[in-house]
Amino acid sequence: MADKPSEKNGKFDTGLIRELAAILREADLGEIEVEQSGVRIKVAKAKQAVTVSAPIAAAPVAAVASAAAPAAAAPATKASLRDHPGAVKSPMVGTVYLQAEEGAPRFIKVGDTVNAGATLCLVEAMKTFNPVTAPRAGKITQILIDNQQPVEFGEPLVIIE
């Protein structure tokens, strides 16, 4: 079974499942399904579950579903804030920086009042630092990301109220 691209030593490659889940979030798809060498993997967003269908015993399928479920359930807090009216979302996939350089003060902290157009953070993508600015004036009530954390397109970064 090791010759199948989505299996390693008789176990499914959870890294592949995580990559599919990331593509699902990034492209804002409802589900994604791939099939190679008789192994089919389907990741669906609606139930945040992973379904694996293949001509193998049922025991490994249950192991894959339980191993991948915590990874899919982890961003539930941010997902619930995605529709918050004060959420400032990442404009791209990249790495977020909360300060201009190491040792410099952070752009913002919880409790700060910002004006429209103020720099909240930077998102680095392809070695280019892109400022994320406040769409409106208000008070920073939550910072949902850490410095140098990878972020996805549309992921909530900051809440301004």
pLDDT at residue number 137: 95
CB atoms within 10 A of CB 8: 14
Residue-number span of the structural domain to which 153 is assigned:
83-160
Kindly state whether residues 138 and 109 are assigned to the same domain. Answer: yes
pLDDT tens column, 45-103? 644 344 444 444 444 444 444 444 444 433 446 667 777 889 999 999 999 999 988 88
The residue from 30, 55, 74 where one domain ends is 74
Smallest CA-to-CA distance from 157 within 104, 114, 102, 105 is with: 114
Smallest CA-to-CA distance from 156 within 146, 144, 148 is with: 144
pLDDT tens column, 115-141? 999 999 999 988 899 999 999 999 999
The residue from 74, 106, 128 where one domain ends is 74
Distance CA 79, CA 73 (A): 10
- Give the residue carrying structure tokens 């699902």: 24
> What percent of the chain is predicted at pLDDT more than 70?
65
Out of 30-39, 46-55, 107-116, the most confident range is 107-116
